[in-house]
């Protein structure tokens, strides 16, 4: 942030236009299909514009995405397991338990992040909530080293891609924020983290 602030626009710079976006009413986002572009608010309904993606994901157009049962949760990858991400997920998990049918994994984004998270006690929060605290690495993000989602199992993942087969053959992946993923692990289904 400090470096970014050293790169301001020139004083008196003219812009074609300025945009101000109010995101306070934006629902948390989650994917429903087989591409990161297939995204809706967690309070939305599943669109019907990609029949092949719906068939692969085992979803029905017009139904709410919230309430969709999940089997796995993966909080990890280089994109969404920074220390701030782990803190956000731990805040949701603290004092709660993962649903009995959900296998939830937390994989820090790097060795350093793992050390910092452990120094803060985040690993204990996740373990107390029934999440597996794992070693840093790619892991289930790309179905590496035997870490994968079983065929036809549904996973809420913080990784950056949800292509068919990315987390394992026939794995059904929903991308979400770390806080949303933690909420799904606890609820056992896709749920709006704001209710936590």
Per the structure, the count of domains in the chain is 1
Examine residue 29 and state whether it is found in any structural domain, yes or no: no
Classify the phi-psi angles of 23: left when phi > 0, otherwise alpha if psi is within -120 to 50, otherwise beta: alpha
Kind of pairing between the strands at 29-31 and 39-41: antiparallel
Examine residue 178 and state whether it is found in any structural domain, yes or no: yes
- The range of the structural domain enclosing residue 100 comes to 68-195
Q: Provide the pLDDT confidence category of residue 172 given band limits of 50, 70 and 90.
A: very high
Predicted local distance difference test score (pLDDT) of residue 144? 85
Q: Model confidence over 111-136: pLDDT tens digits?
A: 999 999 999 999 999 999 999 999 99
pTM equals 0.90
Which domain CATH number covers 135? Answer: 3.30.499.10
Examine residue 135 and state whether it is found in any structural domain, yes or no: yes
Alpha carbons within 13 angstroms on the beta-carbon side of residue 76 total: 29
Examine residue 51 and state whether it is found in any structural domain, yes or no: no
89 close to 53: Cβ distance less than 8 angstroms: no
Examine residue 108 and state whether it is found in any structural domain, yes or no: yes
Q: Provide the pLDDT confidence category of residue 187 given band limits of 50, 70 and 90.
A: very high
182 close to 89: Cβ distance less than 8 angstroms: yes
Helix, coil or strand: residue 180: helix
C-alpha dist (Å) from residue 8 to 1, 14, 17, 104, 105: 12, 13, 17, 42, 40
159 close to 77: Cβ distance less than 8 angstroms: yes
């Amino acid at each position: 942030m400090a470096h970014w602030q050293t790169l301001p626009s020139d004083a008196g710079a003219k812009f074609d236009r300025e945009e101000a976006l109010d995101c306070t009413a934006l629902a948390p986002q989650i994917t429903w299909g087989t591409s990161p572009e297939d995204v809706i608010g967690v309070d939305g309904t599943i669109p019907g514009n990609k029949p092949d993606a719906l068939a692969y994901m085992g979803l029905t157009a017009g139904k709410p995405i919230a309430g969709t049962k999940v089997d796995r949760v993966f909080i990890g990858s280089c994109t969404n397991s920074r220390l701030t991400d782990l803190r956000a997920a731990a805040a949701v998990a603290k004092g709660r338990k993962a649903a009995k049918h959900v296998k939830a994994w937390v994989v820090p984004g790097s060795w350093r992040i793992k050390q910092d998270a452990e120094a803060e006690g985040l690993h204990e929060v996740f373990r107390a909530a029934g999440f597996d605290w794992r070693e840093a690495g790619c892991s289930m993000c790309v179905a590496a080293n035997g870490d994968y989602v079983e065929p036809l199992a549904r996973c809420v993942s913080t990784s950056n891609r949800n292509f068919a087969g990315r987390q394992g053959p026939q794995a059904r992946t929903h991308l979400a924020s770390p806080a949303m993923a933690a909420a799904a692990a606890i609820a056992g289904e896709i749920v709006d983290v704001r209710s936590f």
